[in-house]
Amino acid sequence: MTDPLIWICFLIFLPLVGGILGYCFKRYLQIVNLTSVGFSLAVAVLLLISYTSPIRYHWEWLPKFHLSIVIDQISLLLVTLVLFIALLVQFFSTEYMRSEKGIARFYGKLGFFIFAMLGLLLADNLLLLFVFWELVGLASYLLIGFWYYKDGIPKAARIAFMVNRVADAALLSGILLVYDQAQILSISDLNGTFTLLSSLLIAFGAFGKSAQLPYSGWLTKAMVGPTPVSALIHAATMVAAGVYLLFRVAPLMHEKAMLLVAVIGTLTAFYAACCALVQFDLKKVLAYSTISQLGYMTLGIGVGAREASLFHLLTHAFFKAGLFLAAASIIHFLHHVSKQDAQDMRYMGGLRQKIKWTYWSFLFCGLALAGLPLFSGFMSKDGILLGAWAFATEHGGWAYLIPDLGLITALITAFYAARMLLLVFWGESRTVMQHGFRESARFFVPTLMLALLSIWLFYHWNPFAHHAHFFSMLGIKDAVFAGGGELIPFLATLMAGVGTVLGYAFFKPDSTYAKNFSILPIPSSLGMNMLFRGLALTDLYAYLGKYIYRFSMLLAFIDQKLINPLLHLFAIGSVVFSKVLALLDRFLVDGPVNFIARAAAFLGRRLAGLSAREGQVQFASLLVILILILIWTFFF
Amino acid sequence: MQNLLSWIFLFPLAVAFALLLIPSAKKSLFRVVALITLGAQFILSIVLLIGFDSSLAPSSWKSAFQYVVKVDWINLSLASVGNFKIQYYIGVDGISVLLVALSSLVLFIGVLSSWNMKEKVKGYFFLYLLLSSSVVGCFIALDFFLFYLCFEFMLLPMFFLIGIWGGKRRSYASIKFFLYTLFGSLFILVVMIMLYMGVQEEGINTFSLAAMMDGNYLTDAVLNPESDGYFLGVPARSLAFLFLLVGFAIKLPAVPVHTWLPDAHVEAPTPISVVLAGLLLKVGGYGLFRILYGIFPDLTAKYSGLLAFFGVLSIIYGGLNALAQRDLKRMVAYSSVSHMGFVLLGLASITSAGIAGSLYHMISHGLISPALFLVVGVIYDRTHNRTMDCFSGLAGKMPVYTFLVALFFFAGMGLPTLSGFIGELMVLMGAFTSKVLAKWYGILAILGMIISAAYFIWTLQRVFFGKYFVRESAWEPHMKDLSPRELIMLIPLAVLVVLFGIFPTWILDFSNETIEFFMKHLSNSLS
């Protein structure tokens, strides 16, 4: 290969160009889009194979301010991952979105998303990262709102966008504080540590995209978008951006901020797993499980096991995208054969026989989610828990809560994964199905590929290996492995196993829960209801929004009824003042003038009358002369 | 070439008077003449940009300007009092050259937007051309008197354009606008006279802005930084600074002296809103650059907290007010108030990033706000209504329109790769790295970016997405996508907004040297 820069540009811009071209030439829509992403993927793989050392490019963007991108193994690995899943999703969508009116618009937005995501992964400069970060948020907004004419969807898209925007504001503040501190923003040039404030702001920016507490409500809102979009954006790629950012800046972050990252990650992982346990909507279960798994990754970075988190990001991307695509197949299937809500698990059941390829994919991915040995999820979660254990032994005391909660979450995860699997696929169907249906190969081929990638063998021959093995296989030597905690793999296996078994016992087809499931109401007890509503986070946002709106109404009132009347008062005051002046002018100033004039006229008239009527001209003349003498003597 | 600037400045004025000779009956001729005139002005200003030497590094303000024309205009010998001298002194530097180009573009688009004007066409285009000349005059005048003349003269056509062609409450709005800005100008007038008395060029009192910026004060002048003149117990220089600040803050406008703006915008016809938001507000900003910061550099640090406070107040207060509006045009008007706050904040930071950002934000807002008023005008032309509740789901009926609206909304909320982002970003970089400002000014300004996203996205959701609905069925036949004329107005703005968002140096290269010198000017007098 010649200059990699050309290839990198090619790689980044091709999906965007493909999306635009596809929009312009709708006849060749799918072909153009799939080829462009396919080419990009090929370039990414070639770059990854021929990788020797990190390359950086920078160019002057603002006066005395350079932007830079960096091509190293990590970014290339993730670029390949994004393009691979994007290609599968695009392929899947050729069937799934076939009858949609705006399919060209769909592919256009998808192309834009891929472009933005690749930019985000390759950016070395924090500001450039922020640029793509915002674009990714925009693409997500556009794709969630794809069915803009349906009720409730634009609102959900807005909530998702606004929550992200709040986080972005924190991130931008953090970045600018770093800029003030260091005068540069290239991650590879930065050294030392950020101040506590900027670290916290950056962390709270990253939490936004990765749907950590307190932002996590937006991800469940985002589920109203097309399901392939959920697979790509809200499971595999965009939501991982926050984790990726934390991964890149972790060595620079303030220690206390990292502690907070670990705590927030743990709490998010735990609460979201609990929420997933009580949902009826299949996509909501998957959304909460995504939040929970992202919590694991965040926790991993917080405790210093950042390579393990990255590995979990990788494995999770595959099995969660697989789960979402399988869910899309299920929804598509039910949409065609049943009149009921196609996403509600209460109307599912017994799908094992109906769509068996989807079942097998879902099973594999689900077991990876549950964290059972022989599947990828186990390997990566193991690494994070090991890291947490090492962190706990180092800090002692309360720090043990982190691995403990992590292990309990692992149990809950296996439990709800079993619940989902059993209620959807096993037992008898809980709805009336009309006619036969044949699974489309365009559905199960990509799903199966993702399912296969959740088997351990693709990462390392040893099913109990973890991230360090995987990364050293890739030639990334500096991946550290936190030693100690030999019990962890055993405990993790135990937890996942117990969770699965418990799940089977609870939710097996002849259990009371499964029998009554179709008529189960929304939980009414406070605790369960809060879990069902995801701790009512979205209500909290709505509440906040409402009060900000009310405050703005108040300000508008002040503007109209306070500032304006003051102005009017001023205006009216000056008019009144000028009226008063006009009166004064008329009576005080003009009055004496008129008096003199009238007096003169009166005198004149008298004199004229005297002379004309009575003929006393001499007397009149005498009077005039006397008056003149009087005036003369008075003045001189 | 030497007289290029004079052509740009005076050509519309000459045509305006020539227009009076055309019989009123030939209605369609006026718009053609106006279009050709302002088209020519636009082409000339492109020539101006091409011929502008952006690598010129000035050593004094006297040498900082290009295309300079300097001739005596009024030169009276007043015996013992001395000479009374006003010059026709014009020229551009890296700051004003951009604003001249922006003006001619916006004015040209304004004519296109006035294309379907029906009533009193002759008077309308006569006033519009007068306005064009005086706006450009403000940006190129280097004689304070000439500047003040143009600054005041803008009010006259604007007053009639709002007062005659405006909406229901037009007389209220136009009088409010006129009196409010006139009130502000009086403060400027006072300072102008004080400066004239104190500044000399070649031994004669002068209105030359260059001489004032270079600080050629008489030793006993009340405004001389070295002397300590007091007026009513306040240092005269501080008083002059505050006077100018009030005068230009009204024009900008900054909260709390902004209330003329929403009324003027709501009542003004679309093209006049375009010019008002795109250019007249920039005159206020330009005044802050050239006159407030140019002539009183030594006080900038002292009052930077004040400027930043009102900047941030405008950003947040204006944004929240925009959130509360139901009328689309009022919302856009308040968003202008919010955006102009960034100009104040950038100036207050006294960093080259912040000051360049202020300038960039003015240019970018000069493209975005006309576009926003134009897109509101599109809906108003079709329905004579612009209340948000009356519409829903327009995206299905008018996809191209919705695309452009979304683009401009996103530009307005400062989304990266669109020009609004660059201005805000540079201002924020300035505010965060400033030596004179506390960090919380910047952080609060970033809150403003959340608010702007809130009102734009919410509007997008309510008016353009959701189920298709218009309040009255009579509107139904008019709900068609953009006409070619509307596309011709909007697409150039959209292209520029995107290009300037990706390649900021295309603009910044023009002003780099001037901003550098500006910074040197500020820091020299601060140290």
CA distance B305 to chain A (A): 18
Q: How many C-beta neighbours within 10 Å does residue A197 have?
A: 15
Helix (H) or strand (E) holding A343: none
Number of residues in chain A: 636
Q: Which of B428, B460, B522, B22 is nearest to A173 (CA)?
A: B428
Mean pLDDT of A134-139: 94
Q: Which residues of A touch B321 (CB under 8 A)?
A: 552, 555-556, 559
Among chain B residues, CA nearest to A141: B457
Half-sphere exposure of A58 (CA within 13 A, CB side): 19
DSSP string, A45-62: HHHHHT--S-EEEEEEEE
Q: Is the CB of B393 less than 8 angstroms away from the CB of A149?
A: yes
Most confident of A268-272, A334-338, A557-561: A268-272
Q: What is the pLDDT of residues A456-496, one digit of tens each?
A: 888 877 777 776 677 766 666 555 555 556 778 888 888 89
Q: Are B61 and B16 in contact (CB under 8 A)?
A: no
Please give the pLDDT value at position A247.
93
Q: Which of A487, A508, A489 is nearest to A497 (CA)?
A: A489
Q: Is the CB of B433 less than 8 angstroms away from the CB of A179?
A: yes
What residues contact A534, with CB distance under 8 A and at least 6 apart?
Answer: A216, A217, A220, A272, A275, A288
Q: How confident is the model at residue A1 (pLDDT cuts 50, 70, 90)?
A: very low
A·B CB contacts under 8 A: 121
Q: Which of A210, A433, A483 is nearest to A333 (CA)?
A: A433
Residue from A158, A184, A559 whose CB has the most chain B CBs within 10 Å, to mutate = A559
Q: Which residues of B touch A138 (CB under 8 A)?
A: 410, 415
Q: Is the CB of A172 less than 8 angstroms away from the CB of B428?
A: yes
For residues A627 and A623, give the distance between their C-alpha atoms in angstroms, rounded to a whole number: 6
Q: Are B258 and B314 in contact (CB under 8 A)?
A: yes
Among chain A residues, CA nearest to B463: A154
pLDDT > 90 in chain A, percent:
44
The first and second tokens of residue B497, run together, are 């907004």
Q: Are B455 and B331 in contact (CB under 8 A)?
A: yes
Q: Which residues of A touch B325 (CB under 8 A)?
A: 556
The DSSP code for A347 is: G
Q: What is the pLDDT of residues A190-210, one digit of tens each?
A: 888 889 999 999 999 999 999
C-alpha distances in Å from residue A369, one per residue of A74, A309, A455: 23, 15, 11
Q: Is the CB of A130 less than 8 angstroms away from the CB of B504?
A: no
The more confidently predicted of residues A582 and B77 is A582
Residue from B433, B437, B462 whose CB has the most chain A CBs within 10 Å, to mutate = B433
Q: How many C-beta neighbours within 10 Å does residue B509 have?
A: 14
Among chain B residues, CA nearest to A156: B461
Q: How many C-beta neighbours within 10 Å does residue A531 have?
A: 21
For residues A442 and A439, give the distance between their C-alpha atoms in angstroms, rounded to a whole number: 9
What residues contact A312, with CB distance under 8 A and at least 6 apart?
Answer: A293, A296, A297, A300, A377, A380, A381, A383, A384, A467
Residue from A59, A109, A125, A148 whose CB has the most chain B CBs within 10 Å, to mutate = A148
Q: Are A300 and A265 in contact (CB under 8 A)?
A: yes
Q: Are A121 and A25 in contact (CB under 8 A)?
A: no
Q: Which residue from B323, B324, B432 is facing A180, i.e. has the nearest CB?
A: B432
Rounded (5°) CA angle B274-B279-B281? 105
Among chain B residues, CA nearest to A560: B259
Q: Are B65 and B142 in contact (CB under 8 A)?
A: yes
For residues B261 and B325, give the distance between their C-alpha atoms in angstroms, rounded to a whole number: 14
Q: Which residue carries 């000035």 as its tokens?
A: B58
Tell me whether the omega of the peptide bond preceding residue B271 falls within 30 degrees of 0, making it cis: no
Q: Which residue from B429, B468, B505 is facing A149, i.e. has the nearest CB?
A: B468
Q: How many C-beta neighbours within 10 Å does residue B437 have?
A: 25
What residues contact A605, with CB distance under 8 A and at least 6 apart?
Answer: none
What residues contact A395, with CB distance under 8 A and at least 6 apart?
Answer: none
Burial of residue A565 (CB within 10 Å: 0-12, 13-18, 19+) is exposed
Please give the pLDDT value at position A480.
54
Q: Is the CB of A556 less than 8 angstroms away from the CB of B325?
A: yes
Can you name the residues that pair with B519 across neighbouring β-strands? none
Q: Is the CB of A131 less than 8 angstroms away from the CB of B417?
A: yes
The more confidently predicted of residues A293 and A27 is A293
Please give the pLDDT value at position A20.
92
Residue from B266, B316, B323, B405 whose CB has the most chain A CBs within 10 Å, to mutate = B323
What residues contact A600, with CB distance under 8 A and at least 6 apart?
Answer: none
Q: Is the CB of A563 less than 8 angstroms away from the CB of B467?
A: no
Please give the pLDDT value at position A488.
81
The DSSP code for B155 is: H
Mean pLDDT of B60-70: 90
Whether the pLDDT of residue A437 is over 80: the answer is no
Q: Which residues of A touch B391 (CB under 8 A)?
A: none
Q: What is the pLDDT of residues B241-258, one digit of tens each?
A: 999 999 999 998 898 899
Q: Which residue from A60, A63, A169 is facing B450, i.e. has the nearest CB?
A: A169
C-alpha distances in Å from residue A581, one per residue of A570, A590, B336, B522: 16, 12, 40, 47
Whether the pLDDT of residue A416 is over 60: the answer is yes
Question: Mean pLDDT score of chain B, rounded to an integer?
Answer: 91
Long-range contacts, stretch B16-23, CB < 8 angstroms, 24+ apart = B16/B125, B16/B126, B16/B129, B16/B130, B16/B133, B19/B122, B19/B125, B19/B126, B19/B129, B20/B122, B20/B126, B22/B122
Q: Is the CB of A63 less than 8 angstroms away from the CB of B505?
A: yes
CA distance A477 to chain B (A): 36
Question: Mean pLDDT score of chain A, rounded to an integer?
Answer: 87
Burial of residue A439 (CB within 10 Å: 0-12, 13-18, 19+) is middle
Among chain B residues, CA nearest to A177: B432
Q: Which residues of A touch B338 (CB under 8 A)?
A: none
Helix (H) or strand (E) holding A400: none
Residue from B446, B513, B519 whose CB has the most chain A CBs within 10 Å, to mutate = B446
Please give the pLDDT value at position A52.
80
φ, ψ for residue B207 (rounded to 5)? -95, 5
φ, ψ for residue A520 (rounded to 5)? -70, 130
Q: What is the pLDDT of residues B197-216, one digit of tens each?
A: 888 888 888 899 998 998 88
What residues contact A162, with CB distance under 8 A and at least 6 apart?
Answer: A541, A545, B450, B453, B454, B457
Q: Looking at A321-330, B38-47, B128-137, B475-484, which range is the least confident one?
A: B475-484
Q: Is the CB of A149 less than 8 angstroms away from the CB of B323?
A: no
Q: Is the CB of A165 less than 8 angstroms away from the CB of B410?
A: no
Q: Looking at A525-539, B405-419, B501-515, which range is the least confident one?
A: A525-539
Mean pLDDT of A502-517: 85
Please give the pLDDT value at position A475.
64
| Entry pTM | 0.92
Q: Which residues of A touch B467 (CB under 8 A)?
A: 149, 151
Among chain A residues, CA nearest to B406: A142
The first and second tokens of residue B290, run together, are 């050239």
Q: Which residue from A165, A179, A556 is facing B450, i.e. has the nearest CB?
A: A165
DSSP string, A167-183: HHHHHHHHHHHHHHHHS
Please give the pLDDT value at position B272.
94
Please give the pLDDT value at position B470.
87
Q: Which of A303, A307, A296, A309 is nearest to A266 (CA)?
A: A296
For residues A322 and A213, give the distance between their C-alpha atoms in angstroms, rounded to a whole number: 25
Show the DSSP H helices in B325-438 as ranges: 328-349, 352-383, 394-397, 399-412, 419-433
The more confidently predicted of residues A622 and B238 is B238
Q: Which residues of A touch B353 (CB under 8 A)?
A: 62, 65
Sign of CA dihedral A263, A284, A544, A145: positive
Q: Is the CB of A149 less than 8 angstroms away from the CB of B453?
A: no
Q: Which residues of B touch A155 (CB under 8 A)?
A: 461
The first and second tokens of residue B170, run together, are 């037009």
For residues B244 and B247, give the distance between their C-alpha atoms in angstroms, rounded to a whole number: 5
Residue from B265, B321, B358, B516 whose CB has the most chain A CBs within 10 Å, to mutate = B321
Q: What is the pLDDT of residues B7-48, one digit of tens each?
A: 999 999 999 999 989 888 888 889 999 999 999 999 999 999
Q: What is the pLDDT of residues A41-67, one digit of tens each?
A: 999 999 888 888 888 888 888 877 888
